[in-house]
Amino acid sequence: MYDLIIIGAGPIGMTCAIEAKRAGLDALIIDKGMLVNTLFHFPTNMTFFSTSLLLEIGDVPFVSHDEKPTRRESLEYYRRVYESWKLNAHFYEEVLDVKKESQHFKVSTTKETYHSKAVVVATGFYDLPVMMNVPGEELPKVMHYYDEPHPYVDQKVAVIGSANSACDVALELWHKGADVTMIIREAVINDRVKYWIKPNIENRIKEGSIKAYFNSRVSSITEKTLEIITPDGPVSILNDFVFAMTGYQPNFAWLEKIGIELTNQPDTELVYNPETHETNVPGIFVAGVVCGGMCTNKFFIENARDHAEKIIRKLKLAYAKA
């Protein structure tokens, strides 16, 4: 019987395990992927918006070459944290269900069944892309995740969206020799785009280096073309690859399956006590970016680290009374 099972081995899941260890609690992390699985699947050349100091956890210093660390540096850092704290984790093991049984929880995975007094859900949202739901989206040339630019040299690439990811992808592809077209629902580039990226992408569009259709949407995708609805009517462009950077969302079906209540006002969010991060199911807590639901820009590593302290504080009080 564990004191705590943490679902998700990202930075916030690790922070929960560290705080549990500090409190003398026996905690297990379970993740269907690897350590910091989401960070591993970020673009190869990605640089964080935050400084290394704001990404630190567990009092382990994060020293990076520049003020803003790279993906590679973050992977190395969180591995060092994991090893320094000797955290207990099971990787490549998916949690299928969490059921309340008397005074504890039964956690069923693809490999084993565990029992725990409490559960923390720190699963993030990067696993499920927000689909466009248009004909042709299932084609192999359509991707919701971006890795690196080399395969797209001299290719006609469409980038759908205008937030940080879309602008980063469009610029890197253009720099490495792709013929880039952006399809943007709004009239302008998203205001939340990083301050050093926004003028760059706007200037590339203004000079014509990157083509852009504003106030437009994709209506369908074929093997050779992209069909777009624009303010001036339908447009068909030749196309080799599509990066649909349309955002991501938590696995709401799974969250509801384990009993967590959701709200749809105005966007889908999780119901929990912000003081303790306990959900409507006593003993099940949420931590990290998953707490924001569809508001995926609400929580980040830097402003979610205190979730762990709130959760462990509540558990210490509960276990002391038991």
Determine if the pTM surpasses 0.85: yes
Write out pLDDT tens, residues 266-293: 688 899 999 999 999 999 999 999 999 9
Compute CA distances 281 → 55, 105, 120, whole Å. 30, 11, 11
Compute CA distances 212 → 57, 72, 215, whole Å. 40, 31, 10
Which residue is it, tokens 């105005």? 266
Write out pLDDT tens, residues 164-217: 999 999 999 999 999 999 999 999 998 989 888 999 999 999 999 999 999 999
Which run of H or E residues covers position 155?
none
Mean pLDDT score across all residues of the chain? 95
The answer to whether the CB of 164 falls within 8 A of the CB of 197 is yes
Sign, CA dihedral 49-69-124-168, equals positive
All domains of the chain, ordered by start, with CATH? 4-128+248-321 (3.50.50.60), 131-244 (3.50.50.60)
The answer to whether the CB of 33 falls within 8 A of the CB of 62 is no
Token couple for 192: 């939340």
CA 57 vs. chain centroid, Å, equals 18
Measured CA to CA, the distance from residue 277 to residue 148 in angstroms comes to: 37
